[in-house]
Amino acid sequence: MKHLTLLALCLAMVFGLTAQSTGGLPEKTESFLWEQGQWVLNHEHQTQYSDRGLIELDIVYRSGQPSERSIWFYDDQDRLVRQQDQLRSGGLWQNKSQYLYSEFLDRNPMKVEYQEYIGGVWMTQWGTWQEYGYESDGQNQRVKTEIRKAFWPADGYYHEETRLTWSYGSDGLRKECLIEISDGQEGWQLTRRESYTWEKEGQPDIVFYEMFDGTGWSPGGRIHYRYLANNGIETTFYLWDPVSQVYSGSERTTTGYDDAGTMILNTKEVWKMSGWEMYSGSRWTPSYQNGLLVEAVREDWIQNPEDPQSGVLSWTNAERNLFSVFFTAGVEVHPSATIEMLIYPNPVDNGFLTVSGFPANGDFQLEVYSTLGSLMESIPVPFGKRQLFMNVQDLSAGNYIIIVRDKSGIVARQQIIRE
């Protein structure tokens, strides 16, 4: 049943940016699979939204009959608190599984539970819980510690598993992170140390990490980031070779987006003796009409299904989605931005996002929206303030849209990626 949740989220995360920027959210999605040289209809989604553009119901139809559905529940602040999956059996909807979101910090859940419906009772199968500690540098509050807990079904309690402790440089950027693990008996044990270099306008260039063996630190690896056009990113992983005493290439991932913000590439490569070799990947070819995303064809890097014994990998048709019956709600963003804003680092993982470029002669409002049109945060920018620091620790991983408004309306927009 998880594929229903993942597919619905993919529609929101991968294609939602385009829909959001044009004001169109697809109520009907037809999904085709590539079989024996032709596209064959696999299933259809019927999606319903609230008047604020929040997804409320997604039903999967197979052979014209409803077979699966997901239902989203929100509180009075439009925060998602439960997402439930059901299967249709004997003409009735039967509970299957659900996600529960709670312990909100601002608008983001710190506690997530996954439950399955077993014997007429909801039973928690796994869960995560994050707790933060903060410090102040006199001007801004920033995260000092993050503790991650996990649910143990054996005793029904959440147990501490990982603790991250951050330190910052004089420029306010992250400098180092100590990572500890807990076995629940001997307390926190050091396991990893990360250090960061910053190259362009606050965006991380390289992350070095070392491993603790109980007596001291030894090199573990490094991660290189290269920022591409349209918010794309190339991430290369290197591992330390203790024999040759050098870092050796291990894996490289690449994501890319088109001008409308729709993901068009997601690949993984591995290092071979002859160089980088494609290991897996997907690429999309989107089509638009009147600014709306109406079609997206996905190709996967796989063996030719018509000749699986060849061992030859190539880009092969995998899935085709047709979007129609569009619903307009939430944020209407028009390509008429009048201010050139600088927002970095982007992508951003843990830490602060810097937004600069505000003219000194105006009052502005900065708003952060999810791809489904939900207002996540609204921050007033005082008159004369040229730069704003925003804590993104509490944003879940995914894509967001930052909107800057003045009295006349929207003056700037930019997509950000929270890793």
Q: What percentage of the chain exceeds 70 in pLDDT?
A: 82
349 or 223: which leads in pLDDT: 223
pLDDT in tens, 29-87: 999 999 988 999 999 999 998 877 788 999 999 999 999 999 999 988 888 899 999 99
Number of Cβ within 10 Å of residue 214's Cβ equals 7
Would the pLDDT of 134 be above 80?
yes
pLDDT in tens, 407-418: 777 777 777 777
147, 166, 167: which is closest to 158 by C-alpha? 147
pLDDT in tens, 308-355: 677 788 999 999 999 999 886 544 433 334 566 677 676 777 666 777
Residue 8's pLDDT is what? 36
pLDDT in tens, 256-287: 888 777 889 999 999 998 899 998 999 999 99
Tokens of 231: 């918010």
Domains of the chain and CATH, by start: 342-418 (2.60.40.3080)
Residue 49's pLDDT is what? 86
User: Phi and psi at residue 169, in whole multiples of 5°?
Assistant: -85, 180
Rounded Cα distance between 86 and 96, Å, is 5
Residue 322's pLDDT is what? 96
Number of Cβ within 10 Å of residue 172's Cβ equals 16
Would the pLDDT of 119 be above 80?
yes
